[in-house]
Amino acid sequence: MEPTRAGTAARPRVGVSGSDRPRLARHVRLGFCPTRQKPILLLPETVVVLNATGAGILELCDGRRTVAEIVAELGARYRTVPDEEVRRYLTQLVARRCVELPRSGENTDG
């Protein structure tokens, strides 16, 4: 997990907050690769092989749960999932446009 360059650009990017309700971007699909036995993220020209924690976070990004709720759910599943780490992970994926943060009131069914 390396910070993207966008994060260091002149215009500072706002991080993901606890009340955001992240969802996967439209062009992104979460899946599982049977050959590699690993969870994967599929983008138009890229495949990202995920680790279990990353996949666990993204599975919960349904546009309904808040980041705080995601952290709580992961906390129940794994022993330690620091809130800050989840937010940093999501911030990076937002910067790469894999995850979106719909504004409140926006339809979250898509």
Partner 1 sequence: MDSPFGLLAELTYRCPLACAYCSNPLNMADYSDELTTDEWRRVLVEARDLGVLQCHLSGGEPLLRRDLVEIVATAHDLGLYSNLVTSALGLSRQKAEQLLAAGLDHVQVSIQADEPAVSDRIAGTPSFRRKIEAMGVVKELGWPLTMNVVLHRQNIDRVADVLRLAEEMGADRVELANTQYYGWAWRNRDALLPSREQLEAAELVVRAARDRLRDLMDVIYVIPDYYSRYPKPCMGGWASRQLTVTPNGDVLPCPAAQSLPLPRANVREDPLERIWAESPVMTAFRGTDWMPDPCRSCDRRELDFGGCRCQAFQLTGDAARTDPVCHLSPDHDLVARAVEAANADSRAGDLPLVPRPHGVRGGDRERHDAAPQGI
Ranges of beta strands (E only) in the chain are 23-24, 29-33, 38-43, 46-49, 99-100
Decide: is 12 part of the binding site for partner 1 (CB under 8 A).
no
- Counting Cα atoms < 13 Å in the Cβ hemisphere of 99 gives 29
Binder among 3, 19, 33, 108 for partner 1 (CB under 8 A): 33
Q: Which stretch binds partner 1 (CB under 8 A): 59-67, 68-76, 77-85, 92-100?
A: 92-100
Q: How far apart are CA 83 and CA 37, in angstroms?
A: 27
Per CB under 8 A, 14 contacts partner 1: no
Pick the closer one to partner 1 by CB: 84 or 109: 109
CB 14 within 8 A of CB 22: no
Please, which residue, 13 or 72, has the CB nearer to partner 1?
13
Helical residues (DSSP H) of 1-42, grouped into ranges: none
Binding-site ranges for partner 1 (CB under 8 A): 1, 6, 9-11, 25-27, 29, 31, 33, 35-36, 40-50, 54, 92-93, 97, 110
